[in-house]
Structure 1
């Protein structure tokens, strides 16, 4: 039951997320290409220089939470049922998306985004495994 719902909703969800990553949340085209490749530094700098906690939660936690559904991709693509294959496919894909943000200047290529998004996928994978073990009757 949950698998079928997931299979129906993950494609529109992915499109919505791509919209947010390129055009949503007040995005604008930068005058120049921006890249931040120091892991964790840009996130800590953002937290340090942001006054409103809501902005910190929305951006940092959002970068994790919004990607949890991709931890369930094994329900759509059987080759992605193990963590290694899932993470390899996801990190490759998010690297391409971050590169597209850089080249279109509709975002910033940030290593921290890749790390946070990948952590979200890992959390989603762990949730999926737990659900498959404990709630088999709901998952199918």
Structure 2
């Protein structure tokens, strides 16, 4: 079941990151777009919240976190060795780096170091959710 969820999640993520018309992913930029300065885009979204609007600013900040929560939740279900926090954080960072690199090379979106941080945070939050759910499941089994 975990592998099926993981493949469906990856397919959905690839669609939204590279092909979603609603996110402007069908347009290819003329040049490479990137941000290598940590917190630049995060500060911009917070500082210009009123101008960008809650949907655009929230989508950038919360959307990047939310996009990786399933990754951090499902990854520990696939293998016991994935049940350590640092494994989930490392894989979240590496997977995010792959996505950002493909966005840079294909010029669909931009490479943003802030996205790496937000995506990795999302993976870690997904891992914490996995731990919470696993703990609840264990308590329920002990009660039975």
- Fold in common (TM above 0.5): yes
1:51: how far off?
3.1
10-19 vs 107-116, which deviates more?
Answer: 10-19
Residue in 1 that maps onto 2:12: 16
Q: Distance in 2 between matches of 1:29 and 1:43?
A: 23
Runs of 4+ deviating beyond 4 Å: none
Aligned positions, number: 134
1:111: how far off?
0.5
- Deviations along 1:99-118, one digit per CA (max 9) or x if unpaired, are 11101111100001010011
Q: Choose which of 70, 76, 91 in structure 2 pairs with 1:89.
A: 91
Aligned alpha-carbon RMSD (Å): 1.7
Contact 2:92 2:119 in 1 (8 A): no
Q: Distance in 2 between matches of 1:51 and 1:33?
A: 23
1:96: how far off?
1.6
72-81 vs 95-104, which deviates more?
Answer: 72-81
Relative to the length of structure 2, the TM-score reads: 0.84
1:12: how far off?
1.3
Structure 2 unpaired stretches of 5+: none
Q: Which has the higher contact order (CA 8 A, sep 6+)?
A: 1
Residue in 2 that maps onto 1:29: 28
Residue in 1 that maps onto 2:125: 123
Q: Distance in 2 between matches of 1:9 and 1:133?
A: 20
Alignment of 1:1-140 (within 5 A): 4=1, 6-24=2-20, 25-27=23-25, 28-49=27-48, 50-72=51-73, 73-136=75-138, 137=140
Q: Distance in 2 between matches of 1:89 and 1:9?
A: 17
Structure 1 unpaired stretches of 5+: none
